[in-house]
Amino acid sequence: MARGKKTKQDELAIVARIKTLAEDSIQSTNTWQTNSEKWNRMRYRIKKTKNFPFVGCANLRMPTVEIKLRKLKSALINTIYGIRPVVQVIPNPGGSWESALKIEKFLDHLIMDVMKAKQKSIIATDQSLEKGFFLLKPYWKTDIMTRIEKLWMSFQ
């Protein structure tokens, strides 16, 4: 048989193999999905409707998970962003403290105002505490510009 030609049985076997791989991957994520849904229901106090001892009776749950997550999230965020500037620059032994303070202020401006890292890290911390992990993609847009400056002096 030529290399490029496939029979109908070969095509059906490939399709069946792809379907079994897809079903296996769905089955392997079921445990994580059920645990995630369980913690989500616990966090936001979602319960089934209660009909015992009578229909429509109260179904209260104390929001202990949400309270714990809020306290832990605020403690973690406060550890990083509680002091401004968020970075510390120590000059070389021969360097000046004034330039180090300017660098601190500039880096703080980049992190807090330009990149808006605090808002993104609040969401990431919340999701990682609830779901177990969260992925952030750090990137920085870089524009390289070549400038030619002409210096001239006039003596009159």
> What's the 3-state SS for 137-152?
CCCCCCCCCCCCCCCC
* Helix (H) and strand (E) counts in the chain: 5, 0
Regarding whether 74 and 41 lie in a shared domain, the answer is no
Nearest to residue 89, comparing CAs of 80, 78, 98? 98
Per-residue pLDDT band for 140 (boundaries 50, 70, 90) equals low
Domain for residue 102, yes or no? yes
Residues in CB range of 7: below 8 A, 6 or more apart: 1
**Quick one: 116 and 74 in the same domain?**
yes
- Exposed (0-12), middle (13-18) or buried (19+): which is 115, by Cβ within 10 Å? middle
> Does 73 lie in the same domain as 54?
no
Same domain, 73 and 119: yes
Which residues, other chains included, contact 115 with Cβ-Cβ below 8 Å and sequence gap of 6+? 140
Is residue 154 in some structural domain?
Answer: no
Q: Is the pLDDT at 15 greater than 80, yes or no?
A: yes
CA 99 centroid distance within chain: 33
Q: Looking at the structure, do residues 56 and 72 belong to the same domain, yes or no? A: no
More confident residue, 144 or 108: 108
Asked whether the predicted pLDDT for residue 137 surpasses 80, the reply is no
For 40, the token pair is: 């989500």
How many Å apart are CA 155 and CA 141, to the nearest integer?
43
* pLDDT for residue 2: 53
Same domain assignment for residues 103 and 93? yes
CB 80 within 8 A of CB 121: yes
- pLDDT band of residue 63 (cuts 50, 70, 90) is low
Structural domain contains residue 143: no
pLDDT (tens digit, 9 = 90+) per residue, 20-42?
A: 999 988 888 888 888 888 888 87
Domain range for 24: 10-61
